[in-house]
Amino acid sequence: MCGIVGYVGNLKAAPIILDGLKRLEYRGYDSAGVAIMADGEFNVAKQIGRVAGLQKTVAQKPIEGTRGIGHTRWATHGGVTRENSHPHLSNNGRIAIIHNGVIENYATIKKLLESKDFTFVSETDTEVLCNLISYHFDKEPETDEAGSRLLASVRRSLMHVQGTYGICVLSLDAPDELIAARQGSPLILGVGPEELVIASDVAALVSRTQNVVYLKDGELVRIKGTTFQISTMDEAGVSPVIDQVTWTVEDADMGDYEHYMLKEIFEQPAALENAMRGRFSADNSTAKFGGLNLTANELRGMGRFMFCACGTALHAGMVTEHLIERFARVPVECDHASEFRYRNTPLFTNTLFFVISQSGETIDTLAAMREAQRKGFKVLAINNVVGSSVAREADGGIYQHVGPEIGVASTKAFTSQLLIGAMLALYIGRMRDMSVRDGTEYVTALKGVPDLVRETLKTADHIKGIAERYSRFNDMLFLGRLELFPIALEGALKLKEISYIHAEAYPAAEIKHGPIALIDPECPSVFLVPQNELFNKVISSMQEIKARGGPIIAITTSDAELPEGLADEVIVIPACHEAILPIIATIPMQLFSYYVAVTRGCDVDKPRNLAKSVTVE
């Protein structure tokens, strides 16, 4: 979850590292720190709070030096204190480390080191690893070159470690060098003409270079001056593959918007256009995907689909489940990746497995994928970040192509996952019983999505007014049916994560089985009530709420006629094809949660306790 950046080059390291950390802040923002090597010592600046605070401190007291490491923290071991902030130094002050991940057996290692008179100033697992490296470094033959000793001691230490890590290590004894290693936490090397930058995410690199090497689990990189060598834990050399990042710095900037989340909400028409581009057949009757790595026959032969994901991405999976079952008539299962990985669930032999992940680094999703692959299943990934761990380990997949999503609350990534899910249902449906006519109608609907989203975004001011009136409540219910039940879940999740309002979602008819007990004038309900075969049933549920004094916000389609006075607030979205309704219905949910959070004065892009990609279990 934490963001890490390392720099070795000819320029002042501190501003470059701090700029990188600023771009990585969505990974964690409890505290930030840098350690820069200069004149035979480490200059360390670290403090609780945001990177901007650290930038101010460093601006007042500039740090010289052209090699350094920096970290923005999402606390795991130990509270949010300066002592627990990274970088950490070894007892002798000669080794500095930053770490993203969790060392599960740190307590055992700590005991061992304490028995050898090591002491600790923090409660972190990272400081333990730092001293372990220092311990091994001192045991390496002094006759060896310091850089080789450092690499060997990092390797030896990591052999004792259980857990996940992306680390960067500096040593005063090898002032030209930086060692980095990864296991379960992402690490990317940016290769500039006269500098090397290492980071947990491309966002921190794109302002320096577009040329990157994605390190794999179990790999270490030794940076020496402007050269680097990659090797494995078994000391085998690895030939680096240099990839080109397609994102630019502008893609990751906020532009004129007040928050990334708002920018990303309004970017959706263009983002969805990108997600669809080149993905329809010439006769416009079906979808096509380049990277599935499956023949049409293999796909046709699949008797079942399984989707695993976390959070918002899981909601996209749940909508896709509904659409594939509805339009392709193939059974689909959907599971929390975090549960699937331990459930040892029996799976049908001809099941095609999908994971969905914006970041491609969510540890539970990765673990679910590996578990399915271990059982011999092919796993395809729906993923936004090119070169992410999920993308690299999947057997094939579909990129979302919506550019960097920085806001912690997922918006454009979610709607593009819904769009890809709808296209998948079409693709599989057309291989089975869906007619050319129905397929053509479906494609026309998909192609109309960007315009419908544009139209729906025009309700922003109306929704802002509603949000301002409703921001004082502390509990809300979100209710929808069929393909809109997962959208109700998403609406509740969005509200919870950025405004800290307690929100729950149910299929509308479920309220009478318990949740209706919550209803009173202080608990509003947001109903998704499109004109469809269950319209009258949802109206009945609304009446049950109304009868108990619960305020109602209705999100309804332009072809529906709500009974006069039933809803206290009405948001009208365009009537549209069932396959794209979840996308259109999501827009008011996003705007509502955004404006509620802003009205309550919450930090929309960096909600408390959260991080954008959850790389620890």
Which range touches ligand AGP (CB under 6 A), out of 408-416, 506-514, 537-545, 569-577?
408-416
Q: Are 124 and 78 in contact (CB under 8 A)?
A: yes
Residue among 110, 412, 496, 612 flagged as catalytic: 612
Which range touches ligand AGP (CB under 6 A), out of 66-74, 100-108, 406-414, 563-571?
406-414
- For helices 13-23 and 51-60, the axis angle rounded to 10 degrees is 160
Q: Which of residues 292-311 bind ligand AGP (CB under 6 A)?
A: 310-311
- Smallest distance, ligand AGP to C-beta of residue 148, A: 38
408 touches ligand AGP (CB under 6 A)? yes
- Smallest distance, ligand AGP to C-beta of residue 311, A: 2
Which DSSP letter does residue 584 get?
H
Sole binder of ligand AGP in the list 409, 449, 545, 580 (CB under 6 A):
409
Give the position of tokens 């990746």. 337
Element (H, E) at 382: strand 379-383
Quick check: is 612 catalytic?
yes
Both tokens of 482, joined, read: 């069929």
- Smallest distance, ligand AGP to C-beta of residue 365, A: 5
- Smallest distance, ligand AGP to C-beta of residue 99, A: 21
Sole binder of ligand AGP in the list 174, 178, 204, 614 (CB under 6 A):
614
* 408 vs 598 by CB, closer to ligand AGP: 408
Work out whether the CA dihedral 544, 547, 553, 557 comes out positive or negative.
positive
Sole binder of ligand AGP in the list 416, 593, 613, 615 (CB under 6 A):
613
**Strand 351-357 relative to strand 304-309: parallel, antiparallel, unpaired?**
parallel
- Smallest distance, ligand AGP to C-beta of residue 384, A: 8
* 85 vs 384 by CB, closer to ligand AGP: 384
* 85 vs 362 by CB, closer to ligand AGP: 362
Give the position of tokens 């309002």. 501
Strand partners, 525: 477, 552
Q: Which residues of 496-516 are buried (b: 16+ CB within 10 A; e: fewer)?
A: bbbbebebbbbbbeebeeebb
Both tokens of 245, joined, read: 């990042």
Give the position of tokens 């799976």. 347
388 touches ligand AGP (CB under 6 A)? no
* 18 vs 363 by CB, closer to ligand AGP: 363
> Strand (E) positions, 175-310?
177-183, 188-191, 196-199, 211-214, 219-224, 227-232, 237-238, 243-244, 304-309
Both tokens of 458, joined, read: 């025009």
Number of residues that bind ligand AGP (CB under 6 A): 15
Q: Are 98 and 34 in contact (CB under 8 A)?
A: no
Q: Are 263 and 255 in contact (CB under 8 A)?
A: yes
Q: Is the backbone of residue 253 left (phi > 0), alpha (psi -120 to 50) or beta?
A: beta
449 touches ligand AGP (CB under 6 A)? no
Site string for ligand AGP, 340-379 (x = CB under 6 A): -----------------xxx--x--x--------------
CB atoms within 10 A of CB 408: 22
Q: Which of residues 496-555 bind ligand AGP (CB under 6 A)?
A: 497
- Smallest distance, ligand AGP to C-beta of residue 362, A: 3
* 219 vs 490 by CB, closer to ligand AGP: 490
Residue 380's φ and ψ, nearest 5 degrees, are -105, 150
Q: Are 404 and 246 in contact (CB under 8 A)?
A: no
- Smallest distance, ligand AGP to C-beta of residue 73, A: 18
Q: Write the burial class of residue 601 (CB in 10 Å: 0-12 exposed, 13-18 middle, 19+ buried).
A: exposed
85 touches ligand AGP (CB under 6 A)? no
Give the position of tokens 């959907």. 334
* 351 vs 362 by CB, closer to ligand AGP: 362
Residue of minimal Cβ distance to ligand AGP: 311
Reduced to 3 states (helix: H, G, I; strand: E, B; else coil), residue 254 is coil
* 196 vs 402 by CB, closer to ligand AGP: 402
125 touches ligand AGP (CB under 6 A)? no
* 89 vs 498 by CB, closer to ligand AGP: 498
Q: Which of residues 176-195 bind ligand AGP (CB under 6 A)?
A: none
In degrees, rounded to 5, the angle at the alpha carbon of residue 557 between the alpha carbons of residues 556 and 563 is: 55
Question: In angstroms, rounded to a whole number, what is the distance separating the alpha carbons of residues 560 and 276?
Answer: 29
CB atoms within 10 A of CB 192: 16
Q: Are 103 and 125 in contact (CB under 8 A)?
A: yes
- Smallest distance, ligand AGP to C-beta of residue 515, A: 22
Question: In angstroms, rounded to a whole number, what is the distance separating the alpha carbons of residues 240 and 225?
Answer: 17
Site string for ligand AGP, 48-77 (x = CB under 6 A): ------------------------------
**Strand 163-171 relative to strand 67-73: parallel, antiparallel, unpaired?**
unpaired
* 44 vs 597 by CB, closer to ligand AGP: 597
In degrees, rounded to 5, the angle at the alpha carbon of residue 360 between the alpha carbons of residues 196 and 233 is: 55
30 touches ligand AGP (CB under 6 A)? no
* 94 vs 263 by CB, closer to ligand AGP: 263
Element (H, E) at 179: strand 177-183
- Smallest distance, ligand AGP to C-beta of residue 46, A: 26
Reduced to 3 states (helix: H, G, I; strand: E, B; else coil), residue 542 is helix
- Smallest distance, ligand AGP to C-beta of residue 216, A: 19
- Smallest distance, ligand AGP to C-beta of residue 388, A: 9
* 4 vs 369 by CB, closer to ligand AGP: 369
312 touches ligand AGP (CB under 6 A)? yes
Quick check: is 523 catalytic?
no
Residue among 2, 130, 576, 602 flagged as catalytic: 2
Strand partners, 304: 351
- For helices 125-139 and 146-159, the axis angle rounded to 10 degrees is 130
**Binding interface with ligand AGP (CB under 6 A):** 310-313, 357-359, 362, 365, 408-410, 497, 613-614
Q: Which residues are catalytic?
A: 2, 612
